[in-house]
Amino acid sequence: MSSNLAVKLRSGTQKAHTAAENVGFMKCFLKGVVDRDCFAKFLSNLYFVYSELEAALASHQNHPVIGGVYFPELNRLAALEKDMVFYYGNGWRSLITPANHAKIYIARIQQLSASEPALLIGHAYTRYMGDLSGGQMLQKIAQSTLKLSGYEGTSFYNFEQIPDKKAFKDKYRDALNGVSVDDATADRIVAEANNAFSFNVQMAEELEGSLIRAIGQVLFNNLTRSHNLGSTEAAATN
């Protein structure tokens, strides 16, 4: 039973994808306005999320659904630990705590891992496909704006084990389409991917107060006034 899950995930998350690109924090980021402290906090929240997500996926790697799309070369935790050392020093573990919305996100991953692990695919898809796609542009912006050399401070976006990102994304989509789930489960995985987008939006919104303090309300308003079509909407209009 082929699920066409990749197709369903792509079409079913288009609106959420565009909404995520229109969060003020991301709009500023995409326009090259990045505050070092906010970016470090952004990555620290992701450290806690990926710590939970990757532990959950690893624990279910022999699950009949998860196993088909379990690719440990995607793991971001070691890269995020490098970034934490860069921004916070060797004592970073005692200096960072997850923000409120990161805690809510983590609780959801724990809940699914305990009761409905197949739905974790929605979270893996949203995060990893985003990191492999738009994340590469965010890395270049951060490197340029924060004057970072090499991958220091942006290891998170550097997939050392995936030299050909396009080929890997094709492989990942094929694996998703090969997952044996019924339509109802596929729909719930899509719904969970939309949940993941919402959690990521809320984590970004939670950083906006810090960003406004860093760059000023007027600049923030100017940078966030327009609505981005978003990559999905733009593709639809071409």
Model confidence over 101-143: pLDDT tens digits?
999 999 999 999 999 999 999 999 999 999 999 999 999 999 9
Residue 122 resides in a domain: yes
Instruction: Give the residue numbers spanning the domain of 78.
Output: 5-229
Residue 236: pLDDT above 50? no
d(CA 120, CA 220): 35
237: in domain:
no
Residue 1 pLDDT exceeds 70 = no
> What is residue 2's predicted lDDT score, i.e. its pLDDT?
54
The rounded mean pLDDT for the chain is 93
Does residue 12 lie in a domain region? yes
CATH of the domain at 62: 1.20.910.10
pLDDT digits (tens, 9 = 90+) for 188-204: 999 999 999 999 999 99
In a domain, 234, yes or no: no
Cα–Cα dist 226/236, whole Å: 19
238 found inside a domain: no
Cα 176 to Cα 69: distance, rounded to the nearest angstrom: 6
**pLDDT tens per residue across span 39-81:** 999 999 999 999 999 999 999 999 999 999 999 999 999 999 9
Task: State how far the alpha carbon of 203 is from the alpha carbons of 167, 174, 208, in Å.
Answer: 30, 30, 9
Distance (Å, whole) CA 152 – CA 83: 7
- pTM to 2 decimals? 0.93
Q: Do the domain assignments include residue 157?
A: yes
Q: What is the tally of structural domains in the chain?
A: 1
- Distant-in-sequence contacts of 7-10, Cβ < 8 A, 24+ apart: 7/177, 8/186, 8/187, 8/189, 8/190, 9/122, 9/125, 9/176, 9/189, 9/190, 9/193
Q: What is the pLDDT of residue 84?
A: 98
Residue 236 in any domain: the answer is: no
Q: Is residue 235 part of a domain?
A: no
